[in-house]
Amino acid sequence: MNSPNNKETELERRERELREREHALRLRELEAEIDRVVPAYETSKHEPQESKFQLWGRKLKIAAQFTAIVIVVGVAVKVSSWLATAAIVGGLSWLVYKIVFEKDRPRN
């Protein structure tokens, strides 16, 4: 016995199920569209411009580093030339000693 009230409730239930399915389908379509459309932006850090004081400070630091390197290299060259001179003079002195003074000694 199908009463008109049962038919109406069955019809309402079917309509609700149909709306729920349509709603779920639309949500899946929107999610798929969101996943497809999301752009990948490359970001970069914004560096504030240097003031004139900061620019001069940076240039002064670079000039000081260059000057320090030049001084260290100059000192290293001077020390190495002194050591080379000492080695040459020492070697020649030893050679002269061997040639001149060792031959004059009587051997026992």
Contact 40, 48 (CB under 8 A): no
Please check the confidence at residue 49 and state whether its pLDDT lies above 90: no
Token pair, residue 62, equals: 């670079």
Res. 1: pLDDT tops 60: no
Report pTM: 0.45
Higher pLDDT, 97 or 35: 97
Note whether residue 45 is domain-resident: no
What residue spans of the chain are helical by DSSP H? 4-37, 52-96, 102-104
Query: If you average pLDDT over residues 64-89, what whole number do you get?
Result: 98
Split at pLDDT 50, 70, 90, the class of 92 is very high
Residues 33 and 62 in one domain: no
The b/e string for 3-15 (b: 16+ C-beta within 10 A; e otherwise) is: eeeeeeeeeeeee
20: containing domain: 1-40
Does 97 share its domain with 68? Answer: yes
Q: Do 34 and 7 share a domain, yes or no?
A: yes
Domain count, the chain: 2
